[in-house]
């Protein structure tokens, strides 16, 4: 394991802002690394993958990762937010991913090998609890996940987990792996975070200089670091 700093969600957002303003392709870097981790956990010939895409940037990360995965794997997309990252959705569908609805997921819940949880990210500091379609989808998938039939890759953090405190209710998909971007969020190592995150993979998307200039909020142990910044 590798010890690294951990940061509050607000610190990570502040580090991202100037790079986003400058047009740095942070989402593309995150999505490529996410797809690489997911590919390593599945068999291309047999794997069935479900993407849970929320309204924010985590949904975009998951959809662009789906575009990579759908080139070699069977990928279903469930849009659970009130809006969707249209460019990411178009890329995923063009690559062969198939849109499904909540009843389809309920019927096939035990048949997925892998779920990419891209419902909520670090924007959920006020109230991270899942609601509506997102909560219903998670509740439908939980029995297969808890039985070990379906594995989960959390996109940046498990949806429903508070990114700073690690608090959550029971409608959270426990991840086998959490692929977190830029810096480890303190919620992954506090509260219920350790029971929900599985192995943590830290993806360097180019925030190191900005984060090195602030005082970390804690420390974390990660299984590996992926350099996606080039």
Binding site for K(+), by residue number, is 58, 117, 159
DSSP 37-50: HHHHTS-TTT-EEE
Question: Do the beta carbons of residue 180 and residue 200 sit within 8 Å?
Answer: yes
Q: Which residues are annotated as a binding site for (6S)-NADPHX?
A: 57-61, 156
Q: Single out the residue of 89, 90, 72, 79 nearest to residue 35, CA to CA.
A: 72
Beta strands 177-181 and 218-222 are unpaired
Q: Which residues are annotated as a binding site?
A: 57-61, 117, 156, 159
**Total length of the chain:** 230
Q: Single out the residue of 226, 165, 225, 156 nearest to residue 197, CA to CA.
A: 156
Half-sphere exposure of 107 (CA within 13 A, CB side): 5
Beta strands 224-227 and 2-7 are unpaired
Q: In whole angstroms, give the CA distance from residue 188 to residue 186.
A: 5
């Amino acid at each position: 394991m590798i010890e690294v700093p951990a940061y509050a969600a607000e610190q990570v957002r502040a580090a991202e802002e100037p790079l986003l303003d400058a047009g740095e392709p942070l989402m593309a870097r995150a999505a490529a690394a996410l797809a690489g981790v997911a590919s390593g956990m599945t068999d291309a010939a047999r794997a069935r993958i479900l993407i849970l895409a929320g309204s924010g940037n985590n949904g975009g990360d998951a959809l662009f990762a789906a575009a990579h995965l759908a080139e070699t794997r069977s990928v279903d997309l469930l849009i659970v937010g009130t809006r969707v990252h249209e460019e990411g959705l178009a890329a995923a569908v063009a690559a062969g991913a198939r849109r499904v609805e909540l009843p389809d997921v309920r019927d096939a819940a035990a048949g997925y090998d892998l779920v990419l949880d891209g419902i909520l990210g670090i924007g959920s500091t006020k109230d991270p609890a899942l609601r509506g379609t997102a909560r219903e989808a998670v509740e439908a998938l939980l029995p297969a996940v808890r039985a070990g039939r379906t594995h989960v890759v959390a996109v940046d953090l498990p949806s429903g987990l508070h990114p700073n405190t690690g608090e959550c209710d029971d409608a959270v998909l426990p991840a086998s792996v959490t692929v977190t971007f830029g810096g480890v969020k303190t919620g992954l190592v506090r509260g219920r975070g350790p029971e929900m995150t599985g192995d943590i993979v830290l993806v360097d998307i180019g925030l190191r200089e900005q984060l090195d200039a602030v005082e970390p909020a804690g420390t974390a142990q990660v299984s590996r670091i992926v350099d996606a910044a080039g």
